[in-house]
Amino acid sequence: MSEPQNEGQSEPQDEPRDESPDESDEVQDATPPEEQTPEEQGVEQVAFDINDFPGGARSAIEAVLMVIDEPVEETVLASALELPMEDVISILETLASEYADSDRGFMLRRLGGRWRIYSKPAYAPVVEKFLMGGQQARLTQASLETLAVVAYRQPISRARVSAVRGVNVDGVVRTLVSRGLIEEVIVDGEPGQASLYGTTDLFLQRMGLDSLDDLPPLAPYLPPADVIEELASEGHA
């Protein structure tokens, strides 16, 4: 027979449950700002019909090309202007052909897989004088030789470039890096490995190349990789 409960003794109450949402769930469900659509970020979209502009899609693409700081891919233009990819490519190729055949001081080129308006090479002296104020803008012979070795044997260390040229190239490499023509590249290897250098997109633009595959066949005149390694190990840097 069970004992009667004391009248003053209350029954155990359930502890109040925390109704607040789980913090981990909030973090998991949250979308990073960079992955959010403009609508999710609260950015108002500019609505327009490309055909309402004078000149239509052609003039709209020209307007964008005039203000970009870096070469742009066809996919970016097609997305921004809400145009089919094939239409964008056709317009770009037509513009490039028309600019090349005209007496304008600029041209439209596709370099490194991207499009941009450039001044024509014939006007280089005028552009140099305007930008440099009469200062020497061209690379020195030492810089050109070093740049060639990096371009054809990248990724390559300074020691190996020095081995090919037979002189110390530390100062020249710093100059080329400062001008944005070469940069350090990430290559999997042992910790403490020497910095390796390769060319940049700016190099392709300055050389008028779409990719490194378009480089002239100069590589056979440079020592092969195993010979460069042997020269560097022998201290010919």
Question: Is the pLDDT assigned to residue 97 strictly greater than 90?
Answer: yes
Question: Is the pLDDT assigned to residue 237 strictly greater than 50?
Answer: no
What's the one-letter identity of residue 13?
Q
The confidence score (pLDDT) of residue 59 equals 93
Question: Is the pLDDT assigned to residue 90 strictly greater than 90?
Answer: yes
190 vs 155, which has greater pLDDT?
A: 155
Range with lowest mean pLDDT among 37-51, 86-100, 102-116, 193-207: 37-51
In this structure, are residues 70 and 115 in contact, taking their beta carbons and an 8 Å threshold?
A: no
Range with lowest mean pLDDT among 73-77, 205-209, 215-219: 215-219
Question: Is the pLDDT assigned to residue 198 strictly greater than 90?
Answer: yes
Q: Tens digits of per-residue pLDDT, 148-182?
A: 999 988 999 998 899 888 888 988 999 899 888 99
Helices (H) and strands (E) in the chain, counts: 10, 5
Contacts 24+ apart (CB under 8 A), 215-224: 215/151, 215/152, 218/148, 218/152, 219/152, 219/153, 222/148, 222/149, 222/152, 222/153, 222/164, 223/164
Q: What is the pTM of this model?
A: 0.51
In this structure, are residues 116 and 107 in contact, taking their beta carbons and an 8 Å threshold?
A: no
DSSP state of 39: T
Collapse the DSSP code of 184 into the 3-class scheme (helix H, G, I; strand E, B; otherwise coil) and give the result. Answer: strand
Q: Other CB atoms closer than 10 Å to residue 50's CB: what's the count?
A: 15
CA distance to 124, 126, 145, per residue, from 129 (Å): 9, 5, 25
Question: Sheet containing 182-185: which strands, arranged edge to edge?
Answer: 156-157, 196-199, 182-185
